[in-house]
Amino acid sequence: MTTRRIWINARLACEARLQQIETEGGKITAIGPDLSQAGAEVVDLGGRLVLPSFVDCHTHLVFGGDRTGEFEMRLEGADYQDIARAGGGIKASMRFTRERDVDQLVAEALPRLDALLAEGTSTIEIKSGYGLDIESELKMLRAAKRLAELRPFRLRTTWLAAHALPPEYAGDKAGYIREVAIAGLEAAQAEGLVDAVDGFCEGIAFSAEELEPLFARAGELGLPVKLHTEQLTRSGGTLMAARHGALSVDHFEYATEEDVAAIAASGTVAVLLPGAYYTLNEVQKPPVAALRAAGVPMALATDCNPGTSPLTSLLMTMNMGAVLWGMTVAECLDAVTTHGARALGLGDVTGRLAPGLSADFTVWDAERPAQLVGRIGLNPMHMRVFEGAVTHG
């Protein structure tokens, strides 16, 4: 028997009057100012701000080891590509990740996961991409699945074997895509480990042409795709991703008007990642104004990873989106709720407060969203509710 609850005195961002939220069976069943409380458990939210729980739609939360030495290298003048070509970056994480078993990966990821949950995040995407051989990539996704058994959140897993070329495939990108990225994807799907497929389209990784067979195979398997692209250079990956109806294109700093038009037509979300932009001290901003004008949904995500975005705060991510790129408070909030959910293909599941959607919401010691976006270093979360149950607070 499910519990029917009425959450009273909820301050919703779009309503002048305090509202009530009815939940039952893990879903929102009604929202209004005067719901019937007969037979229900009543929870008084005290006039606090209530928002949809956050969605972190792009993370590399599972990885082994520590790469803070690269932070010091960047302070001395090295850039992303210098570090990668010197054996750092993704390939350093590959060595650390291959050395660890699932239990070790889970233990290292839990503090990062807990930091996200403590700020009101209830849906998180976790990618593979640091194993770069079939078994190590599968091991990363098994660790992600274990995390979802240990903590209350909604997980979406992404196969990102096409993240970098490991040393054993030097000079043979086509062979790696065929023998690891595609063969491993088939194994991951057979094991029930994968929800989507991603790749890194960049000069230091793979070209759009090299990734095409992987995306074609994903389509044959019925899996949606997304793409890291236009981060460091204009790679042309956006046009390929749009042709495949990608859920999202991610980073997007060097995107052109043609790229914006392509994803506007394909219904693809632009996932912007200010943590990497900040950490790498980049100067090329994503085309926020062009995306806004074209009506392209913009999501924000932490891009939590060991090197270029060691970020575990969507509150800070929203602040960065506003301060660094001129996004409005409303855009930042939509970016980590409605549009973040859409970037994962979950727009009809979570990311909004509406009857029929999952009862995922967060209660804040605040009166308006600007108090979350405009502050730095303060977490005013009062309560996190996931699928109708209080998990924090």
Q: What residues form the annotated binding site?
A: 58, 60, 67, 130, 163, 228, 231, 303, 305, 307-308
Q: Which residues contact 63 (CB under 8 A, 6 or more apart)?
A: 93, 96, 97, 105, 108, 109, 130, 140, 305, 306
Cβ(203)–Cβ(232) below 8 Å: yes
CB 61 within 8 A of CB 124: yes
Which residues are annotated binding-site positions for Fe(3+)?
58, 60, 228, 303
Contacts of 93 (CB under 8 A, 6+ apart): 63, 64, 65, 67, 130, 305, 306, 307
In this structure, how many other beta carbons lie within 10 angstroms of the beta carbon of residue 227?
30
Two tokens, residue 264: 């506007």
- Asked if 156 and 121 touch (Cβ cutoff 8 Å), the reply is no
383, 361 Cβ separation under 8 angstroms: no
- Residues that constitute the known binding site for 4-imidazolone-5-propanoate: 67, 130, 163, 231, 308
8 A C-beta contact, residue 224 and residue 246: yes
3-state helix, strand, coil in the chain (%, to 5): 40, 20, 40
Q: Which amino acid is at 390?
A: V
Q: Which residue from 208, 227, 234, 345 is spatially nearest to 286, judged by alpha carbons?
A: 234
Helix (H, G, I), strand (E, B) or coil at 221: coil
Specify binding-site residues for Zn(2+): 58, 60, 228, 303
Q: How far, in Å, CA of 31 to CA of 349, rounded?
A: 16
CA distance 305 to 310: 5
- Please give the annotated binding residues for N-formimidoyl-L-glutamate, written as ranges: 130, 305, 307
